[in-house]
Structure 1
Amino acid sequence: MTHSETDRERRGSAFLTGAKSRIGRMMVVAALAGIVPVSSDATQPRPVNHMVARKAIAAPSGAKALCVQHSWACARGGGAHLSERAAMKLAHKVNVSVNKKVRPISDRAQYGVDERWDLPTRRGGDCEDFALLKKKQLVEAGISPETLLIATVLDRNRGAHAVLVLRTSGGDYVLDNLGNRIKPWRDTGYSFIRMQDPNRPDRWVAVLAGGVFDA
């Protein structure tokens, strides 16, 4: 591990230890204590516009049964060979549509638990549910599932949040229920903690980039 990587993880640890959000408490154990090396394929350098997988990590607590409940959420391969322009156009349409139709509601209010990842109900859903529905609709529309990666982040207010990442040849773009505009990941101002592994969407990788990690 390089000196810069050590400093990066120390900054992440110091911030997350003091965070009051649920993701702060969760990441103290999961993001920093439960990390193991990823496969060689996942550690290959990527262009600067893509997030880099640093370490393998456990799935978020609410997503541990995700692959069993919804196989498409962790699928690999398939999908049409859409141009980047066509994929972005489709992603924008789905992002706006889901944001408009789904009512925000917390897992605590809906299920009586702090964390549950699932598709939105008639009552609505929280940020993870928005991301899952967008992924489902885009997979059904022909976009390869391994290019649609759910990520957990700290938002600009350092609160727990989740988004859907569309990986294209030109970079990683974020579909967010807090806004209809699809942005490059660095333009969100978010602190990216972990996301689905692009090589194995049934697994998760630590990112630790953007926001507080780049400060």
Structure 2
Amino acid sequence: MTPIIMHAGRMVRKGARFVTLAAAIAILPDAGAFAAQPPDQMRIRKAISAPAGAADLCGRYSWACARTGRLNMSDASAMSVARGINGKINRAVRPVSDRSQYGTEEYWTLPSARGGDCEDVVLAKKKALMAAGVSPDRLLIATVLDRNRGSHAVLVIRTASADYVLDSLTSSIKPWRATGYSFLKMQDPARPSRWNAIFSGGIFATRA
């Protein structure tokens, strides 16, 4: 005869054909397993000055510091548009330094007929993506150190799941961590006329 015991005021059979209440609870997955994973977006550390060459950017190009757009495009649609524009502009703009074109080390502007540097390419991509309907608060200019620790600028497209990088050096759009870059400064998504310190990825990741 299968023995019966009292458990929390209830009768529970013991035997090979029955699972005790405690065992049943033990095999349930933890509630945290069903929780949504936090987005892999860069964390803002503090307000910081604008990069060299970008101090008067909002005055010259008001759209570069706009907060909201006309459309609420889905992440999938925005990424599809971004892939096309990223590759198209990378192919169209010939690399030319600011020193060669303007006689100064840093001057952020749209590419000329001669070409442009990384910041110029970033501006061209941001303008094109905004014209295609991507909200400007999802298109954030960032300054970085590349894998060789050289100064560089990229455009970050923010989705609900992660921050992705549009880069003049590649037509592949990657999650920000996958670039290996050291992120220094980025536009504030709530107010793109302001800049924030990031200090994440690359050389900063090794200090964690």
Q: TM-score, normalised by structure 1?
A: 0.78
1:106 matched to which residue of 2? 97
Shift of 1:125: 0.4
Report the Cα distance in structure 1 between the residues aligned to 2:184 and 2:48, rounded to whole angstroms: 10
1:207 matched to which residue of 2? 198
Matching residue's letter, 1:193: L
Question: Once the two structures are superposed, what CA deviation does each residue of 1:156-181 show, in whole Å capped at 9, x if it has no partner?
Answer: 00000000000011110000000000
Task: Choose which of 121, 126, 144 in structure 2 pairs with 1:153.
Answer: 144
2:88 matched to which residue of 1? 97
Report the Cα distance in structure 1 between the residues aligned to 2:189 and 2:176, rounded to whole angstroms: 15
Structure 2: tracts of 5 or more residues without a match: 1-36
Matching residue's letter, 2:177: R
Task: Choose which of 179, 184, 190 in structure 2 pairs with 1:193.
Answer: 184
| Aligned residue runs from structure 1 range 73-92, under 5 A | 73-92=64-83
Secondary structure of the residue aligned to 1:63 is coil
Answering whether residue 48 of structure 2 is matched by residue 57 of structure 1, we say: yes
Report the Cα distance in structure 1 between the residues aligned to 2:73 and 2:139, rounded to whole angstroms: 14
Answering whether residue 178 of structure 2 is matched by residue 172 of structure 1, we say: no
Secondary structure of the residue aligned to 2:147 is coil
Aligned residues: 170
Secondary structure of the residue aligned to 1:187 is helix
Report the Cα distance in structure 1 between the residues aligned to 2:41 and 2:162, rounded to whole angstroms: 5
Runs of 4+ deviating beyond 4 Å: none
**Richer in helix (by share):** 1
**Greater radius of gyration (CA):** 2
Q: TM-score, normalised by structure 2?
A: 0.80
1:131 matched to which residue of 2? 122
Structure 1: tracts of 5 or more residues without a match: 1-45
Shift of 1:79: 3.2
Secondary structure of the residue aligned to 1:62 is coil
2:24 matched to which residue of 1? none
Shift of 1:81: 1.6
1:18 matched to which residue of 2? none
Report the Cα distance in structure 2 between the residues aligned to 1:116 and 1:77, rounded to whole angstroms: 26
Shift of 1:110: 0.8
